[in-house]
Amino acid sequence: MDNKAYAEGLAKLREVRDEIRPLERQLAKIQGELTKLATRRDQKIVELGEFEKAKADRIATSAGVSVIDVVALAPSLGPQGTARAPVEAASADSTIVDRTGPQAAAQAIKEPAGAPAPALRPAAQPTAADDEQQTDTSEDQELPAAAGAAATAAPSPTTALTSATPTVAPGGEQERTLPSIPEGAAGDRWIYAEPNLTSKRPNFKQATRQMAFLDTATGVLVWQAGAVTLDLGRASVAEILTAVYATVPADVERIYITAGDPWHQNAGRHQFLKDAVAEWLNGPLPEGWQVESSRGKDRQAGHLVHPRNPVGRWQRGKDQHTEIRSVGEWFDPAGADPATARAAFVELWKALRRHWDDVVLMGSPSQTGRDLWSRTIPAKAGAKWADGYPVMSQEIRGLLHATAGQGRTELITPPRVPERVPGWYEADRTFAYAKHTWTSGVGVPQRVTAAAFAAMSEKEQADALFSPSHWQVRVTIPRDWDHVGLLPAPAPGERAWHYPYEGGRTFVTWAGGAEVNLALRNPLQPWRIEILDGLVWEKGDPLKDWSNKLKDAWRSLRAVAEVHGDERQRQAARLASRAVRSILLYGIGTFAQRPRITTGSLELGAGGEVPEIPDGARLTGLTDTHVTWERNGGFARDPYAHPEWAAGVWSAARAALLSGPTGTKDPATGKPARAGALHLPAGSILAFRTDAIYSSVRPEWPYSGEPGDYLLKGAMAWEQTTPTTDEEFYVLQALGRQALEAEEQ
């Protein structure tokens, strides 16, 4: 670059600056007006809340906020009735609005004394009663009880929860405060099932949607009737819809993108991928097409702006509907062409058809998983739970949402580990979540306070800790502890978790029964656990039949992938087996029923004016042509909301990542051989990623191909620089997998 080019560049930069400034002023003005209006709204809510006949649900509807937000501003609208008092029946449109029952007001509480958990037999020396627990205790896309709590409030992510004594991490940052169940009768009122809301077996069959598979990089389109190569231009929405529907019939309602990722074509112009995706989804449409506004009972409307697997929904006229989705929701196509991707879906349907006569592959694995599960609910008259599985109160669901994380993600860096390590090894648990679905909590839970736990016999305490449960606990790490952390604790940042490991440290957290048991019975040294509060469910197996059928389909597809004579069919079967894994993994995730987040976009006015966004929404992006918005819809009255099941599976999977049985017997003891991070040397663990452990020493664990077994997926038996960032970690992950593949050839 010479002086002239530099000067021209500066001039162009000033032009961009001058274009940005008026938009920044406009956005600041909008944000200022929005803040003023929000303040006026909150003041009005407070005024209306003083009216003796005021109802939180009616105010929430009029204000465009959640019931929890209203109660936070007007605590007098919180629950005042007796324990387990019935709440007002849902209105006719309850499927699209939050439950209108009142919520407990936020309150700071003091830290009471905890009830020490009993000493349990170490996992390395199991009792007969313990064998079943080891087989399973609770695994795409995120602990014994304790007596001292932080603040209590209706546990919604939209409600600010405060603590009388905030916890400060060793690094000096203040950790998030987890919610608690209110003391006394106020907390007892949380312990009920939602009235007239149960998970029942459906009495209808899902409608079948025709699919097409498109590689936008090559233009190859495959559907039931054949295959063609299209000219897609730049693969905009308009070009795809025009080219595809000039070729296939209108009853093809799903277009799966197998390669090309057209929604990322302008990623270089945006700071975040979601903005590039939103721009692509909101691009110009062919004449007669529009963004889908409403659909039938089993359909959804509007776009899903996801950075890697978005969903676009459009319609032409009243009768033609279509979705453009990523096949990456189901599996990584790993270079498979559209014909092979379609063959994978055919193999998937055939494998599931052996167990479900009415199977229909829906748009996503999560939708498919939940639908298949619903068809395993007992239906025979007189069978237990034939009337349906009850849905927990909104308060309990909110508590679990706020206090039950998902997979463990942790990068362990120097000085906890050396700056140079002798090797790099990745051990990944095969189909891990399927290992932890044999038992789950059912019915309305029993609340076990610190006082109630202390009053139990030691056997009753052990029984409670071995039951499906979720505990608030005060944890004290042994002073001479030198291995990884065992229990999750809230870290700074929304929904963030870390795993304290410092000897002598005490902290308060929530954890599932599987992790509490692990902390008490780990093979190295028991941790001190004090029970503060907890929820204990009756043992049941609502996921067992569903999971067993999916595991059978997974095994049959893996067998086909090993022995089929045609390479395309082998690859299709491999992809289909990965799709089965996604059905179970994301199906479990749907039980968690997070608050509904609705996204949308609106076109800017002719002069660049920002249009009015829906009530309760916030701006999330601004492009040259559109604004995008997001709104938290709170917890819906979903008949399939069972976060207690998802939390139990996740807790057990995290515990098994540290120590758990394999599918192979230990010849010395005759018991299942155990594997996990605690069975590797202290200081050798470099990272955790949901189902995988990364270490500096090679794990020699038996592998039989069963769910939960550790498969070596990466290996470099030479000195490496320890990764300190996610970018460095993923480079080593890729190199380790390539090295192991070369070693095995």
Query: Residue for token digits 């952390």?
Result: 485
Average pLDDT (418-446) is 95
Tell me if 607 sits within 8 A of 600, measured CB to CB.
no
Cα 611 from Cα 601, distance rounded (Å): 10
C-alpha to C-alpha distances, 228 to 15, 20, 251, 586, nearest whole angstrom: 45, 44, 18, 33
pLDDT average, residue stretch 145-154? 31
697: which DSSP letter?
Answer: S
* Cβ neighbourhood burial of 111 (10 Å; 0-12, 13-18, 19+): middle
Q: How far apart are CA 295 and CA 117, in angstroms?
A: 52
What ranges make up the beta strands (E) of 63-163? 115-116
Yes or no: say if 504 and 477 are a contact pair by the CB < 8 Å rule.
yes
Beta bridge partners of 632: 597
Distance CA 442, CA 385 (A): 9
Of the pLDDT bands very low, low, confident and very high (cuts 50, 70, 90), residue 103 is very low
517, 655 Cβ separation under 8 angstroms: yes
- pLDDT tens-digit profile of 246-294? 999 999 999 999 999 999 988 888 888 888 998 899 889 999 999 886 5
Q: Is residue 9 pLDDT above 90, yes or no?
A: no
- Asked if 527 contacts 475 with a C-beta cutoff of 8 angstroms, the reply is yes
% of the chain at pLDDT higher than 90: 57
- Give ∠ CA 318-323-329 in degrees, rounded to 5: 155
142 pLDDT higher than 70: no
**pLDDT confidence bin for 137, thresholds 50/70/90:** very low
* pLDDT in the model for residue 347: 97
Can you tell me which residue has the tokens 């000096």? 172
Per-residue pLDDT band at 127 (split at 50, 70, 90): very low
pLDDT at 151 over 70: no
Mean pLDDT for the stretch of residues 99-108: 36
Residue 735 main-chain phi, psi, to 5 deg:
-65, -40
The whole-angstrom separation of Cα 492 and Cα 167 is: 10
**Percent of residues, the chain, with pLDDT higher than 70:** 81
Assess whether pLDDT exceeds 70 at residue 606.
Answer: no
- Judged against a pLDDT cut of 70, whether residue 334 lies above it is answered with yes
Determine whether 300 is exposed, middle or buried from the number of CB atoms within 10 Å of its CB (0-12, 13-18, 19+).
middle
Domain boundaries, the chain: 3-78, 117-201+433-537, 208-329, 597-632
- The predicted pLDDT at position 175 comes to 67
* SS3 track for 327-383: HHHCCCCCCCCHHHHHHHHHHHHHHHHCCCCCCCCCCCHHHHHHHHHHCCCCCCCCC
Residue type at 474?
R
Mean pLDDT of 363-372: 95
Q: Which residue did the predictor score with more confidence, 580 or 54?
A: 580
Given a contact cutoff of 8 angstroms between Cβ atoms, the answer to whether 436 and 661 are in contact is: no
CB atoms within 10 A of CB 720: 17
Written as six digits, the tokens of 271 are 């700071």
pLDDT tens for each residue of 32-78: 788 788 878 888 888 887 787 787 767 877 887 666 567 667 766 65
CB 714 within 8 A of CB 737: yes
Model-level pTM? 0.75
Which pLDDT does position 15 carry in this prediction?
A: 82
Rounded to the nearest integer, the mean pLDDT of the chain is 83
Taking each continuous run of H as one helix and of E as one strand, the counts in the chain are 17, 28
Question: Region 147-174: what's the mean pLDDT?
Answer: 40
H, E, C per residue of 200-226: CCCCCCCCCCEEEEEECCCCEEEECCE
Residues 181-198, mean pLDDT to the nearest whole number: 92
C-alpha span between 61 and 41 (Å, rounded): 12
Residues 6+ positions from 235 with CB-CB distance below 8 Å: 216, 260, 262, 265
